[in-house]
Structure 1
Amino acid sequence: MKPFNNKTPFSCKLLTQWLVLLMFASFSVQVNAQEHLVASQAQYEQALKHLQPGDKIILKNGIWQDFEIDFIAKGNAEAPIELTAQTKGKVILSGQSNLTLAGEYLTVSGLVFKHGFTPSKEVISFKKTDTQVANHSRVTEMVIDNYNNPDRQVPDNWIGLYGQHNRLDHNHFTAKRNAGVTLAVRLEGEHNQQNQHRIDHNYFGPRPILGSNGGETIRIGTSHHSLSDSLTVVENNFFDRCDGEVEIISVKSGKNRIQNNLFYQSRGTLTLRHGNGNIIDSNVFLGNGIDHTGGIRIINRDQIVTNNYLEGLTGTRFGSGLTIMNGVPNSPLNRYHQVVNANINHNSFINLEHIELAAGSDSERSAPPQDSTLTQNLFINSTAPFSVHDDINGLTFTDNLSNISLNKINPIIAKGLNSQQVPLARAANGLLYPSDTALTHYGATPKLTPTLKQHTGVSWYPKSELSVAFQSGNIITVSSEEGELGTAVQSAQPGDILLLKDGHYNVSNILAITKPLTFKALNKHQAIISFKRPSLFEIQNNGNLQLDGLRITGINSPNASGNSVVRTSSTGMLTNYRFEMFNSIVEQLKTHHQFHFFDSGNRAFADEINISHNLFSHISGDLFRLDKETDDKGIYNAEYLTLSHNQFEHIQGSVASVYRGGKDESTFGPHVSIKHNQFHDVAMGKQNSPAALLKLHGVQVSQIDHNSFSDSAAIVVEHTVGEPKTNITNNKLINSALPQVSELVTTGQHTANINNNKVQTR
């Protein structure tokens, strides 16, 4: 038989016949495709048995409780098999529900997971078993909202991407609160590698601070498979305040492309943690001055970082605007491989507080960056942001533009900076560029198109805030009549203000705080509250508490062990909380046992505790007990503790005990700020052992300044991992013990800054 070619007789006729056959075959599939509207799990299982390419299963609108969906079928490129909602957003999967895809050419859309948590390791999984995975499949226009295990330290992943050639797009993921990655790309086995997944146009909504490791938003691979290539593309997504931990995106594999995403006020960095040959291109990082907002952290070989725009980032150390790490010689897979052949070009670094070079240098991480270049970048800052931690001869700075004075800058950096005045103007895309068009080839291109929030996720589900602000609701006036305060708490709405008239309030039951509420005195200190139970307030899930102008006394409280004015739920809390108190008096917390003011339970986490302009007097216990996470896994009870302009007198216990144990470095806190307070006769009680006015273990940032201490015990600080910053300055110590600082991990003298304190003895 002669080979087929354009000169073969009847070739056009044969081709036409084939095209007709293909057209009829495609038409036949469309004609035979069936839609199955199902109203129960049993009906779904029956429909699943008979699916053919082009078929569609439609879940009837409503709440589907405890539905573990196995969507296992085989479509084809011309006729995928679809699972969808009768109306997008009107099918709610709640309780213990999840979704598993396995097969070929599957599409799932329109479903919402909320009011529950997955009974397995993942909410949506692109595999049934290790060998049954999904390929060429798509999950689009789905919502996972606050679908979390009630124990914040029990981990699960919301999405597990397995197989090859899958797409995850236009989805809405928000309020991941428990441990575990929001989205994990898994590379176990060759059938999951070189996968060419596409992750695009998703809305990654706010992820609260986890207070431990395990809070990444995206992880691509693991250290075990980090020398394998994933070829995953992450593009056109919006990361909205993704604050889980220090790594927002953790790349742990090779040859991925992260491009044209927008990171908005997100604490942490896009981290090239493991794997080689990744491309970071055309992303926008907007910090707006928010604490710990970061940019890009570079580790490993052959990384390309180009055309990115970073502005207003405050992060430092491993979370800085740009971090180039030191590596470990002959590093094992799970540590730090040396940076080699990094190409960092045409990026705009504008108003970054820190750029860290050879970061993490220590006796283990002793291999500085090599053979790497930084070219035609734009560095705009009021002061030089560069911190150099080791030899940077392996970094070549060439033809970069900056407004920074070259005085006192490392010569290797200065050699490659063209320093001059660089006026900036905002372009139509909202980003800053040199006003002189002759300079626009420096930094990110003016053609950069930031990904906007409204262009991601779904159109039919709101992008709501996770919490309600204090004093944003109605004012409810309350009198001291018996039971009225408790009734008002139950009927109040989030954000309401309970305005307490003058009088004596003797509260009979613990007030459960399950929403943001403010208790405010009509006249300062004239609303006097006592309580008959071991606690006055218990902060529970979704609760935030603000007190203003109250007078709280323990004179009617039981003579029992473990009393406290405020406590968190004894069963732990999934949601983070806030506690604030201003202009109030707390007094006479005295029993034969220790009577505390604020006692955090295990597995409870405060975003912020802010205490200002208050008087604490005659208290037999501790004031702030934030020391319950003693399993030494890097977990802690509060991100920020701020005490300012308060007066503390005759306190037998400690003012604050804050504990963060373990060796993990994936978090930023705790932070403790103690400023402009007066302490007299504090922490000298016999039951306060060891005697310490403040007990700070593993706190990352401590600012203790402009306070007055008289007749009081010592400040005790124990440094552990990371690079803790402790400043004890400008204080008065009158007949009080000197601060005690110790290093529990590193050797040598402590690193605390203890200066300009005035010490007096009587």
Structure 2
Amino acid sequence: MWQKIALCVACALLLAVYACTDGGLTVSNEAELKRAVQQAQPGQTIVMKNGVWKNIEILLQAEGEEGKPVSLVAESPGGVIISGESNLTLAGNYLVVSGLVFKDGYSPTGSVISFRKSKTEYANHSRVTETVIDRFNKTERFESDIWVTLYGKNNQFDHNHLVGKMNQGVTLAVRLDTEESRENNHRIEYNYFGPRPVLGSNGGETIRVGTSHYSLTDSKTKITHNVFDQCNGEVEIISIKSGANEISNNLFVESAGTLTLRHGNGNIVENNVFLGNNKPHTGGIRVINADHIIRNNYLQGLTGYRFGGGLVVMNGVPNSPINRYHPVKNVVIERNTLVDISAVQLAAGADAERSEAPSDTSFNENLWMATAPMGETFTAYDSLDGITFSNGGVSGLTTSVAINAKETAVSKNAAGFWQADDNSVGAKMDNAPVTLDQVGVAWYPKGDLRPKLNSGKTISVSAQSGMLEAAVANSQPGDVLELAAGEYTVDRVLVVRHPITIKGVAAQQLSDLATKIQFTRNALFQIEDGGSLRITSVVIDGSSADDSAGNAAIRTTRYGMLNNYRLELDRVWVKDLNINHSFSLLKVSMSTMADEISIRNSRVETVTGDVLRLNVETEDLGIFNADYVTLVDNEFSKVDGNIVALYRGGTDESTFGPHLLMQSNRIADSGKGSRNAQKTIALLEGVQVVDILDNSASQSGDFIAHSRVGEPVYWIKNNQLGESKLMVSYKGVPVDVSAEVNERE
């Protein structure tokens, strides 16, 4: 008892403003926190009082001891909210941080959490645990930062929750740029890496270990027992750019991209589970460099192809510079199970530069299977003389590649995984490597928490003056504004700040639609950051719009967006966008990204600009404005510009999109306006997937599709285009696909 009294007396004398409790020294503001850190001794716990701590840069620089760390904790887990321009830096030895939530703000520096104060002051033997970073993004989409940056040695990042990184930059990076951070033995474990949307550019990895410059250095980092849930930022979910790392017992769920051994040698990838659930571009493991072991992994329902396939073994560059593709050598791939995998790519990426095929690489005792008929899974792009296959098992799968596998009886085990009945091949997966309830924190919800279209209330809106404007302004995320029959004249731009639906009175024929919206400004809707818009059963009439050039019925904010948005038009009649030249249906700004833009069952007529103007990212940096563009069963007539102008420049290979589907559309008298220099109805640059199916065109311009990166997929089928030409090229070479010939390139 006397020790407790003495301690509290000392606290009162030295730090009179603090509250001294059995749980540690409680601080209530930044000044108290700084003084507490300055005087912290081994074994000291500093307790941050619950509440919102805004615009605070926390520096935990102290010296603990093994078994006696200096700890910084929330009064109660999740009770301390770090907001505004804030961050956390650790420097010293044996430090622990726990229970904080970063939200409603961003870091003013290059990291939200950094294990380094300066180039000479690192954290070692330190831990961050049970901490949340939720959409703590820079204000500009392409202003890059890293949420968590690990330096020093022997640090641990565990049981944390990271979700919603939307600006450019890696979610978590291990840095090796000084000797003090190499062979670091960091542990990244039991974390929840929640949904990360498509960035539309390079720089959207979830984890990166090392960089190409230090890639021949060993990191010795362990990434174990984490869940990667819908991590879709770019083609590399985990990018390993160093050696001697272990990536094991992780669960990848519906994540587009792959675990990529991009640089570095001697990495181990084992006991991981990849569940794609047949979502687009879900991938598995991509192999580059030497001396890796890839074993006992379970991969199922992965639809990815090219560099995002289920299992990809790359070709390399002979005598490769450190930042390119080192050849695959001495790699062992054994006892893995691959179920319903769309693509296994061998010697992938072979070209004039990547001309060295894999060597001394073995596939042993793997189980290859399909639960339903599927096309060719294996593709070889170069010689396979350096790859051996032995003692494999196969079920329900045929392939032209000699994989030396025998027919094997299979069944599901108690944990729900397919396995060989005699257990002679494939992964031994008695249990899932990790489950959702084992990762992250128990007190913060998992999943994509962003509001969705059609998830709110239904609100009736009359055609009285000002009612639609008021309804939009007062709406809540996900609301459906159900418009009565009548004419709505809108005298201000309707700002869409969250997902809303505008729904008119349904009619069997578009000409019978009874809900009509006219607008007098230079735009009807403006989608702001966080907004999405669905419009159905409505006539949009631009004949009363402001008499100025470059109007748009719908536009995005000119300041860019962090959040991806959706735009859906279904059974909409858009007409008379012709008050002046260059009047478009949709016009987007730079640094905006749509997950999907779709127009279905609609009519668009008399437009002096483009229907969809999605070609503003012209700096050839691999950036684009829409991931999926869908035009199905529409009528387009008297459009001076393009039905769709979609651009993705550059030669970067880190993204999957854009994707375009044009199917069953009727196009007439379009694409020949005086400002349409190329006289096109579709002008596509760098679009990775182009499906043009069952369309008709008369007295209209041409379809032009150019690409210069990746392996684009063109599917042109059953189109009746009249005088319109369809010109497709890849890397400047024409692709022999015409309106009357069905081919897939």
Residues 326, 368 of structure 1: 8 Å contact kept: yes
1:754 equivalent to 2:742? Answer no
Question: 1:505/1:152 Cα in 2 relative to 1: closer, same or farther (>3 Å)?
Answer: same
Secondary structure of the 1:693 match is strand
Partner Cα distance (1:29, 1:330) in 2: 65
Rounded Cα–Cα distance in structure 1 between residues aligned with 2:688 and 2:252: 25
Residue 121 (structure 2) pairs with residue 129 (structure 1): no
Out of 592, 603, 606, the residue aligned to residue 615 of structure 1 is 603
Query: What residue number does 2:297 align with?
Result: 308
Moved more, 293-302 or 380-389: 380-389
Partners in 1 of 2:255 and 2:449 — Cα distance?
15
In 2, the alpha carbon distance for the partners of 1:264 and 1:341 equals 30
Structure 2 letter corresponding to 1:756 = E
Q: Is the contact made by 1:29 and 1:79 (CA closer than 8 Å) also made in structure 2?
A: no
Alignment partner of 1:431 is 2:406: no
| 2:651 is aligned with 1:659 | no
Q: Choose the corresponding residue for 2:390, options 390, 398, 403.
A: 398
SS at match of 1:367: coil
Q: What is the alpha-carbon distance in structure 2 between the residues aligned to residue 619 and residue 632 of structure 1?
A: 29
Deviation at 1:471, TM superposition (A): 1.8
The reply to whether residue 99 of structure 1 matches residue 82 of structure 2 is no
Cα offset, 1:212, TM superposition: 0.1
> Does 1:293 find its partner at 2:282?
yes
Cα distance in 1 for residues equivalent to 2:679 and 2:93? 66
The residue correspondences of 1:240-251 to structure 2 (distance < 5 A) are 240-251=229-240
Separation (CA, whole Å) in 2 of partners of 1:280 and 1:423: 24
Note the C-alpha offset of 1:516: 1.1
Aligned counterpart for 1:212 among listed residues 201, 206, 211: 201
Partner of 2:378: 386
Mapped to 1, the partners of 2:7 and 2:116 lie a distance apart of: 26
Q: Within 5 Å, which residues of 2 pair with 1:228-243? A: 228-243=217-232
Matched-pair contact (CA < 8 Å) for 1:728–1:752 = no
Partner of 2:17: none
Shift of 1:725: 1.7
Q: Which residue of 2 aligns with 1:46?
A: 35
**What SS class does the counterpart of residue 341 from structure 2 fall into?**
coil
Residue identity in the other structure for 1:373:
S
**CA deviation after TM superposition for structure 1 residue 742, in Å:** 3.2
Aligned-pair RMSD on alpha carbons?
A: 1.8
Deviation at 1:592, TM superposition (A): 3.0
Distance 1:403 1:430 in 2: 17
Instruction: Give the direction of change, closer, same or farther, for the CA distance of 1:343–1:662 in structure 2 (3 Å limit).
Output: same
Q: 3-state SS of the aligned residue for 1:490?
A: helix
Q: Which moved more, 1:212-221 or 1:522-531?
A: 522-531
Determine the C-alpha separation between the residues in 2 that align with 1:701 and 1:638.
12
Residue aligning to 2:215? 226
> What CA deviation, in whole Å up to 9, does each residue of 1:625-659 have, x standing for no partner?
01111111100000000100001011111111011
The AA in structure 2 aligned to 1:471 is N
- The answer as to 2:590 corresponding to 1:602 is yes
1:458 aligns to what? 441
**Could you tell me whether the CA contact under 8 Å between 1:725 and 1:751 is conserved in 2?**
no
One-letter amino acid of the structure 1 residue matched with residue 544 of structure 2:
N
Q: In the TM superposition, what whole-angstrom CA distance separates every residue of 1:304-335 from its partner, at most 9, and x where no partner exists?
A: 00000000000000000000000000001110
User: What displacement does 1:362 show?
Assistant: 0.3
Which consecutive segments of 4 or more residues in structure 1 shift more than 4 A? 28-34
Aligned mates of 2:344, 2:9 — CA distance in 1: 61
Q: For 2:520, which of 532, 541, 549 is the aligned residue? A: 532
The equivalent residue for 1:562 is 550
Q: Which residue number corresponds to residue 20 of structure 1?
A: none
Which secondary structure state, in structure 2, belongs to the residue aligned with residue 682 of structure 1?
coil
Question: Are the counterparts in 1 of residues 697 and 724 from structure 2 also a CA contact under 8 Å?
Answer: no
- Distance in 1 (CA, whole Å) between partners of 2:70 and 2:229 is 33
The equivalent position to 1:84 in structure 2, one of 64, 70, 73, is 73
Give the Å deviation of 1:29.
12
| 3-state SS of 1:99 partner | strand
Residue pair 2:641, 2:676 contacting (<8 A) in 1 also: yes
- TM superposition score normalised by structure 1: 0.92
Q: Is the 8 A contact 1:507 1:529 kept in 2?
A: yes
User: Could you list the per-position Cα deviations for residues 329-359 of structure 1 after superposition, in whole angstroms to 9, with x for gaps in the alignment?
Assistant: 0001110000001100110000001100000
Kept in 2, the 8 Å contact 1:282–1:448? The answer is: no
Q: Is the Cα–Cα contact under 8 Å of residues 69 and 100 in structure 1 kept in the other structure?
A: yes
2:410 touches 2:418 (CA, 8 Å); kept in 1? Answer: no
2: distance between equivalents of 1:377 and 1:176? Answer: 36
Give the aligned residue type for 1:326: N
**Identity across the alignment (%):** 45
CA distance in structure 2 between the aligned counterparts of 1:110 and 1:752, rounded to whole angstroms = 60
- Give the TM-score of the pair, scaled to structure 2: 0.94
**1:464 Cα deviation after fit:** 4.2
| Closer/same/farther in 2, CA of residues 271 and 108 from structure 1, 3 Å limit | same
Equivalent residue number for residue 17 of structure 1: none
Q: What is the CA distance between 1:78 and its match in structure 2?
A: 2.0
- The verdict on how the C-alpha distance between 1:634 and 1:752 changes in structure 2, with shifts beyond 3 A counting, is farther
Shift of 1:447: 2.6
Matches within 5 A, 1:411-560: 411=402, 413=403, 416-420=404-408, 422-425=409-412, 427-434=413-420, 436=421, 438=422, 440-524=423-507, 525-560=513-548
Distance (whole Å) between structure 2 residues aligned to residue 285 and residue 464 of structure 1:
17
- Offset at residue 30 of structure 1 (A): 14
1:741 and 2:741 are equivalent in the alignment:
no
Cα shift at 1:750:
2.7
Deviation, 1:424, is 2.5
C-alpha contact 2:544 2:579 (8 A) present in aligned 1: no
- Equivalent positions of 1:264-413 (< 5 A) are 264-381=253-370, 382-383=373-374, 384-404=376-396, 409-411=400-402, 413=403
Query: In the TM superposition, what whole-angstrom CA distance separates every residue of 1:386-411 from its partner, at most 9, and x where no partner exists?
Result: 011000111100010002565x6123
Shift of 1:32: 9.8
Match runs of 1:608-647 below 5 Å:
608-647=596-635
Give the Cα–Cα distance (whole angstroms) in 2 for the partners of residues 137 and 119 of structure 1. Answer: 23
Against the structure 1 CA distance between its residues 550 and 283, is the aligned structure 2 distance closer, same or farther, given a 3 Å change threshold? Answer: same
Give unpaired runs (5+ residues) of structure 1: 1-27
> Partner of 1:18 in structure 2?
none
Quick check: 1:71 aligned with 2:54?
no
The AA in structure 2 aligned to 1:516 is P
Q: Answer yes or no: is the 8 Å Cα contact 2:90–2:115 preserved in 1.
A: yes
Question: Which letter maps to 1:742?
Answer: S
Shift of 1:441: 2.8
CA apart distance, 1:88:
1.4
Answer whether contact 1:733 1:757 (CA < 8 A) is retained: no
Q: Distance in 2 between matches of 1:307 and 1:579?
A: 42
Contact 1:30 1:54 in 2 (8 A): no
- 1:124-158 deviation digits (Å, cap 9, x = unpaired): 00000111000000000000000001111000000
Distance in structure 1 (CA, Å) of the matches to 2:645 and 2:682: 6
1:731 lines up with 2:722 in the alignment: no
| Residue aligned with 1:580, SS | strand
Q: What SS is found at the alignment partner of 1:128?
A: strand
1:537 and 1:376 map into 2 onto residues whose CA distance is 58
| Cα distance per residue 1:265-300 (max 9 Å; x no partner) | 000000000000000010000000000000000010
Larger radius of gyration, structure 1 or 2? 1
| 1:703 equivalent in structure 2 | 691
Contact preservation (8 Å) 1:196, 1:233? yes
Q: C-alpha offsets along residues 372-427 of structure 1, whole Å, 9 cap, x if unaligned?
A: 11011110023441011000111100010002565x6123x2xx11135x3432x2
Identify the range of structure 1 (383-392 vs 530-539) with the bigger mean alpha-carbon deviation: 383-392
Letter in 2 for 1:649: S
Measure, in 2, the Cα distance between the counterparts of 1:495 and 1:713: 39
